[in-house]
Structure 1
Amino acid sequence: MEKKEIFSQVIHMEERIGTFHDELGELKEQLAMLIEENHSLALENQHLRKLLEEKEAKEPENGTQASSGGTKSVGEGYDNLARLYHEGFHICNMHYGSLRTNGDCLFCLSFLNQK
């Protein structure tokens, strides 16, 4: 009887270890997503702080001048995409918005080089 009990305990422990391994894999995936989201939010936060500093620096220079009515330049969308690419994000239709982890993306570069 002792050997059967020990064997059943080992089997039960093995099942629990398998369950723990699965749970650990799920936690690892969630952690990777949170790290990626945190990185992208940190980049966005850094960019927004830079824009805010630039805006605050320009306000005293402009003084009492009237604003231009909010018209945007033609290349502003292109500039935004170029900025996103240089911050480490894909701008191609295949992986748009995800982080570039393996260097430059040929699809993104071909999009940026279009005239």
Structure 2
Amino acid sequence: MDKQSLFVQVANLEARIGELYEELGSLKHQIQELIEENQRLRRENEHYQALTMGKGLAESGSAQENLRRIYREGFHICNVKYGSLRTDGECLFCLAFIERA
């Protein structure tokens, strides 16, 4: 095996790894979107169940408590990214909003 063919093999492998990395990033993004949709649907389902059982939303707690709960579950409650999954830890906008409430 000569050095040139070895170099070509390494370059091809590097290109394939790059493609796999891009595909992995795309899959990660799709998973994040599915998690957010799942959580949104769960909240919506809970809302409709409460309505159909005659409880209404007033008995489920105050708006501030609901927002705090949503934030604790890992979602943004700020106007910048409302409803999206918090992937980078705490959000200063959300925390400031909770403080004001």
TM-score scaled by structure 2?
0.70
Which residue of 2 is the match for residue 96 of structure 1?
81
TM-fit CA distance, 1:85: 2.1
**Whose radius of gyration is greater, 1 or 2?**
1
Instruction: Please list, as runs of the form range in 1=range in 2, the aligned pairs for 1:58-69 lying within 5 A after superposition.
Output: 58=54
Give the gaps of 5 or more residues in structure 1: 62-74
TM-fit CA distance, 1:101: 3.4
Which residue of 2 is the match for residue 42 of structure 1?
38
AA in 1 matched with 2:25 = E
AA in 2 matched with 1:99 = L
- Distance in 2 (CA, whole Å) between partners of 1:92 and 1:55 is 26
Which residue of 1 is the match for residue 8 of structure 2?
12
Percent identity (aligned): 30
AA in 2 matched with 1:111 = F
TM-score scaled by structure 1?
0.63
Give the CA RMSD over aligned residues: 2.8
Q: Which of 52, 56, 62 is residue 56 of structure 1 equivalent to?
A: 52
- Bigger mean CA deviation after superposition, 11-20 or 96-105: 96-105
Comparing both chains, which one has the higher relative contact order based on Cα–Cα distances under 8 Å and sequence gaps of 6 or more?
2
TM-fit CA distance, 1:29: 1.0
State the 4+ residue runs in structure 1 displaced beyond 4 angstroms. Answer: 78-83
Which residue of 2 is the match for residue 114 of structure 1?
100
Give the gaps of 5 or more residues in structure 2: 56-61
- Distance in 1 (CA, whole Å) between partners of 2:31 and 2:50 is 29
Q: Is the 8 A contact 1:43 1:87 kept in 2?
A: no
- How many pairs align? 94
Q: Is the 8 A contact 1:89 1:100 kept in 2?
A: yes
AA in 1 matched with 2:73 = E
TM-fit CA distance, 1:14: 0.8
